[in-house]
Structure 1
């Protein structure tokens, strides 16, 4: 069997891998390798027909990719007890690997092996929590180049970001993609907590006109950059502000992608035209699903003399033990 690989520019590696995977020709049994200062070799099982690349080559001595972190750590002499304390999951965001290490011994060694597993990645970050009024991430470099600025691609949407400065929740991928599916062309949307464009970008790419508000200066910088990167600057009105200051907004849909979104329902309802839809996020204990988020939304609407029709309730991901990140979709008359 011929060991084929396509040559692509390094900045496009992560996006091209996703395209090759979608086409069904990416060979994850071999490692990504550097071709020269500008190009990398991405292994493929056959010549791609739908994915753009510079050239196709045949590799004479490709490096085989290990697919099991535990096996790599065992080769390093790790005991079974130490391996049990190693992380079992991680996220690749562009060229950065995000890992929560907890009480894992020797994180640097784990980081080195994760870079071996993911040849397109350059940096491994230890992931802590999110804190402060600007929702700033607590991260530290444990392996690799230390470069934390990257471009991450999901379903065709490009997110430029610096993971030292802004948060990115890999577990929200399905919800980000979904928001691009639910909007209609030319629909007016208010994204109250836009961040770097998590929901704004998929909606704008789908044809919606989005008023995107973000008060974190670092996130706002990337929000503006990402509007250009995705060729939708004409569909995004970006404001660096507190969303409660946006008194003149009138829209058909409001997105509230913030765990304490219920505290901002007065602003959301004031912006939402009759018959419009609100998407309210929050973290809810298992034993309060779905009573707490629904009652919060209904109570706020009734205070404004408005009726609520619950359209959908969804669990996005586990937030902590016994607590879920959820979304309530509702039509407000």
Structure 2
């Protein structure tokens, strides 16, 4: 069996692993090993042909990788009841592990086990929730270095962010990637709730001309940084402020957009200004957190009512479930063509 490992810089670990997996040479039976303060050794079955690495080394006495968290916890003396109370899911965002501990009584010990399981990460955060119109997170450092600022790479898009200051929804990964696939090069797109560029960045990378509006100054700071990080400053117009004010000015100037993204649970409250700048035959993506008992009647009724008030017609609606928002509530998105 090969004991080869590819040495990469710590900030590049996530991208490198994805590339090595595409090459089919990532050895998941062995653990990532920290080489020094700047680099990590990723186990591989053969030298990489397409992945950029600093070096390829032969490991001596390589460490086997624990298969899962329960196995690690059992080895650390956790009782079956304690293992049952431990988190069953979490997200690795850049080099930060984001997790909700719930009723787990040994948070620090579980967090240390998570760091062992994900050797490329260096901080574990407990996610308490997202609150307010500016969607600001409440988090707690449980283990590791405590550095909450990171760069997360997803389907080739890089997101710089501070998880203690701005929100990031791991469950929206598929939707973020989809927006980069449905848009066409040259389309004029308005992202009314841009955040750090969740949807704006994939669309701009796909060639769309995107106007991204964000009212949270901290999120806007990272949105600006991410435009440069992804080399899309020529296709991404950044606007700091309330989207209603921006849309009002654009509507008076007669500007229109081929596609409008409304990635906010209360997006229905902003449908009137959106209708004012959506081009005939344009597409509107309206997000909502909908009680399951009201699927799909409530969001569709809200959309059709707003269209009627604007003397417009909904030609077609595509309904999509994004993820579970909470018990009995689903995060959905309507893709609507409006004449």
Taking structure 1 as the reference length, the TM-score comes to: 0.98
**Counterpart-to-counterpart distance in 1, 2:83 and 2:168:** 27
Which stretches of structure 1, 4 residues or more, deviate above 3 A after TM superposition? Answer: none
Which residue is equivalent to 1:194?
A: 194
In the alignment, is the contact (CA less than 8 A) between 1:161 and 1:196 conserved in 2? yes
Q: CA deviation at 1:310?
A: 2.8
Q: Write the mapping of 1:191-230 to structure 2, written as runs, cut at 5 A.
A: 191-230=191-230
The aligned runs of 1:240-255 (5 Å cut-off) are 240-246=240-246, 247=248, 248=250, 249-255=255-261
Q: In the aligned structure 1, how far is the partner of 2:177 from the partner of 2:320?
A: 14
Are residues 27 and 130 of structure 1, via their aligned partners in 2, closer, same or farther at CA, if it must alter by over 3 Å? same
Offset of 1:35 from its aligned partner? 1.7
CA shift, 1:2, in A, is 1.9
Equivalent position SS for 2:234: helix
Distance of 1:131 and 1:204 partners within structure 2? 28
Partner of 1:322: 328
- Matches for 1:103-252 after TM superposition, within 5 Å: 103-246=103-246, 247=248, 248=250, 249-252=255-258
Q: Report 1:91-110 matches (<5 A).
A: 91-110=91-110
How many Å apart are 1:134 and its aligned residue?
1.1
2:314 to 291, 308, 312: 308
Query: Is the Cα contact below 8 Å between 1:7 and 1:42 reproduced in 2?
Result: yes
SS in 2 for 1:281: strand
Q: Which aligned pairs between 1:41-60 and structure 2 lie closer than 5 A? A: 41-60=41-60
- Post-superposition Cα deviations, 1:25-49, rounded to whole Å, max 9, x if no partner, equal 1112211112223221111112222
Determine which of 270, 273, 297 is the counterpart of 1:264: 270
String of CA shifts for 1:246-288, please: whole Å, max 9, x gaps. 1215210000000000000011111101110000000011111
Can you give the 5+ residue segments of structure 2 that lack an aligned partner in the other structure? none
**Counterpart in 2 of 1:283?**
289
Aligned residues: 333
TM-score of the pair, normalised by structure 2: 0.96
Aligned equivalents of 1:20 and 1:163: distance in 2?
A: 27
What RMSD in Å do the two structures reach over aligned CA positions? Answer: 1.0
SS in 2 for 1:150: strand
Given that 2:34 and 2:119 are in contact with CA atoms closer than 8 Å, whether structure 1 keeps it comes out as: no
Please give the alpha-carbon distance, in whole angstroms, between the structure 1 residues aligned to 2:307 and 2:334.
14
The answer for the alignment partner of 1:14 in structure 2 is 14
